[in-house]
Amino acid sequence: MTSPTASLGHCHDLLERISRYIDGELPAADRQEIERHLRDCPECEEVLHSLEHTVDLCREAGRPGLPPELRARAAARVHQLLARAAKRKKR
């Protein structure tokens, strides 16, 4: 059995690192941990996909990585999704 609070804590931990994951700044062990988590966590997967989309747009515009304002927006979205997930998982 999985504890909802424990898995949410894991989401939080993971999402704090997700922008560095996209930037390729994380060590291999961390990347693997994130990839494993994404396989059974639709919330985090959704966050990653929307962030990757944003990063793609930046790259197409010739900008490497995430500009600070986009990073801030992404963080806000992550918190929004986490709050939603917390509500759904709590009873």
If one asks whether residue 41 binds Zn ion (CB under 5 A), the answer comes out as yes
| Type of residue found at 21 | Y
**In the 8-state DSSP scheme, what is residue 61?**
T
Size of the site for Zn ion (CB under 5 A): 3
Give the span between the Cα atoms of 8 and 61, in whole angstroms.
Answer: 35
Looking at the Cβ atoms of 16 and 67, the one nearer to Zn ion is 16
Smallest distance from Zn ion to CB 88, Å: 12
Q: Which residue has the tokens 């997967």?
A: 45
Q: For Zn ion, which stretch binds (CB under 5 A), given 10-18, 24-32, 53-61, 70-78?
A: 10-18
Give the relative orientation of helices 68-89 and 4-23 as an angle to the nearest 10 degrees: 160
Give the span between the Cα atoms of 44 and 54, in whole angstroms.
Answer: 15
Looking at the Cβ atoms of 11 and 51, the one nearer to Zn ion is 11
With CB under 5 A as the contact rule, the residue among 34, 44, 51, 55 that binds Zn ion is: 44
Looking at the Cβ atoms of 41 and 74, the one nearer to Zn ion is 41
Q: Give residue 51's Cα distance to chain centre.
A: 7
Give the residues lining the site for Zn ion (CB under 5 A). Answer: 11, 41, 44
